[in-house]
């Protein structure tokens, strides 16, 4: 791999073992500014572990991570943040009982003479939300937000640090089709208008088609390939795509029937929805693996 000025993150020969199990087996990868890099792989392939190394949550066994030319053997969460790495985790981190602005500034509250400056937090939160095109009142209690709106709060929180890299780990697993499409718009703006490097973990091939500039397939802790999204053969993905869309529709229908109140107010636990949707799309992941072998 040759470097270019936009190569903001360069991961070299990254390895990670848990106990005796090799979860990452010498990964080489580059994330570029202004690019949406989709990250795809079966359950347990090591996607979250790899991105955990980049965000400082996981300590690599060996290898290096260079951020803007500065080389690290390991990163702490604080250091990763300082270096401009923002992450939105696979499971929501927002807290009910707090307002939108409180959630955005959770853990790094803006204070004035030692006291949380609610007014300033609300103003800053409104500016971050406006950047995302979201119409959300900063003083609204979180429990009144839909799942998609909670996702926006998570992104606003990640933007607070002015990230150069934004990692989204399966961000649409719990979202409806409409919310997913809105999130795609936000992600495109952040990458293409604000020049942020987006790392986007997904199990859904149709998301790659919709937003990715380039794609990496990870299998058993190793990169199978990285290539521009436009070069993925549409004939290979047509069938899985159709089945996946039908599956999403079926799940959405079941969700509406089972939990009308929860759907209307978005107050249900995101993880629960997450699991149900992901359980349903997992068979498609196997088909994705089959597509991968065509290229491999
Ligand atoms: N803290 C840990 N201790 C032990 N094993 C772990 C730990 N974290 C992850 N693993 C194991 O590492 C492997 C890769 O997990 P990881 O969560 O990175 O996969 P993933 O690609 O993100 O999967 P998914 O699509 O299900 O999110 C799995 O076998 C998992 O059980
Ligand atoms: Mg994961």
Percent of the chain clearing pLDDT 90 (strictly above):
60
User: 14-68 pLDDT, tens per residue?
Assistant: 999 999 899 999 999 999 999 999 999 988 999 999 999 999 999 999 999 999 9
| SS3 sequence of 212-244 | CCEEEEEECCEEEEEEEHHHCCHHHHHHHHHHH
Residue 96, pLDDT > 90, answer yes
- Cβ proximity of 55 and 78 under 8 Å: no
**Mutation probe of ligand 1 site: the residue of 14, 27, 46 with most atoms within 8 A of C-beta:** 46
| Nearest CA residue ID for atom 8, ligand 1 | 49
| DSSP one-letter string for 59-90 | --SEEEEEETTEEES---HHHHHHTTEEEE-S
- Mean pLDDT throughout 82-109? 92
Give the CATH fold of the 7-295 domain.
Answer: Rossmann fold (3.40.50)
| Nearest CA residue ID for atom 24, ligand 1 | 43
Q: Which ligand does the CA of 47 lie closest to?
A: 1
**Mutation probe of ligand 1 site: the residue of 19, 44, 90, 201 with most atoms within 8 A of C-beta:** 44
Domain ranges of the chain: 7-295
pLDDT at residue 249 in the model: 67
> Residue 176 gets which letter from DSSP?
-
pLDDT at residue 231 in the model: 79
What residues are in contact with ligand 1 under a 6 Å CB criterion?
Answer: 18, 23, 41, 43-49, 90
- Ligand 1 atom, smallest distance to 41 CA: 21
Q: Which ligand does the CA of 22 lie closest to?
A: 1
Residue 177 tokens read as 């089709």
Higher pLDDT, residue 44 or 234: 44
| Nearest CA residue ID for atom 9, ligand 1 | 49
| Nearest CA residue ID for atom 3, ligand 1 | 18
pLDDT at residue 93 in the model: 86
- pLDDT band, residue 4 (cuts 50/70/90): low
Which of 133-137, 182-186, 196-200, 257-261 has the largest mean confidence? 196-200
- pLDDT band, residue 176 (cuts 50/70/90): confident
Burial 126-150 (b: 16+ CB within 10 A, else e): bebbebbebebebeeebeebbbbbb
What does pTM read for this prediction? 0.78
- pLDDT band, residue 232 (cuts 50/70/90): confident
User: 104-157 pLDDT, tens per residue?
Assistant: 999 889 999 999 999 999 999 999 999 888 889 999 999 999 988 999 999 999
Residue 272, pLDDT > 90, answer no
pLDDT at residue 234 in the model: 58
Cα-to-centroid distance, 139 and ligand 2 (Å): 32
Backbone φ and ψ of 107, nearest 5°: 90, -15
């Amino acid at each position: 791999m040759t470097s270019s000025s936009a190569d903001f993150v360069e991961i070299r020969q990254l390895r990670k073992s848990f106990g005796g199990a090799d979860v990452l087996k010498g990964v080489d990868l580059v994330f570029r500014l202004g690019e949406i890099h989709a990250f795809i792989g079966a359950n347990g392939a090591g996607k979250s572990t790899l991105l955990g190394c980049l965000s400082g949550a996981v300590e690599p066994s060996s290898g290096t991570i260079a951020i803007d030319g500065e080389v690290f053997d390991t990163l702490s969460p604080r250091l990763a943040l300082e270096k401009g790495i923002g992450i939105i985790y696979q499971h929501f981190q927002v807290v009910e009982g707090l307002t939108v602005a409180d959630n955005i500034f959770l853990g790094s509250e803006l204070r004035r003479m030692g006291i949380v400056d609610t007014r300033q937090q609300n103003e800053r939160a409104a500016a971050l939300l406006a950047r995302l095109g979201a119409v959300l009142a900063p003083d609204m209690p979180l429990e009144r937000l839909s799942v998609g709106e909670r996702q926006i709060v998570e992104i606003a929180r990640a933007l607070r640090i002015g990230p150069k890299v934004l990692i989204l780990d399966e961000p649409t697993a719990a979202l409806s089709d409409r919310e997913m499409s809105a999130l795609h718009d936000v992600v495109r703006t952040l990458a293409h208008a604000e020049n942020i490097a987006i790392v986007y973990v997904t199990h859904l091939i149709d998301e790659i088609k919709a937003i990715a500039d380039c794609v990496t397939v990870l299998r058993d802790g190793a990169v199978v390939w990285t290539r521009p999204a436009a070069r993925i053969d549409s004939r290979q993905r047509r069938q899985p795509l159709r089945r996946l869309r039908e599956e999403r529709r079926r799940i959405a229908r079941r969700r509406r029937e089972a939990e009308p109140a929860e759907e209307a107010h978005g107050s249900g636990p995101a993880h629960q929805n997450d699991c149900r949707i992901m359980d349903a799309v997992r068979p498609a992941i196997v088909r994705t693996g089959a597509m991968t072998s065509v290229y491999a």
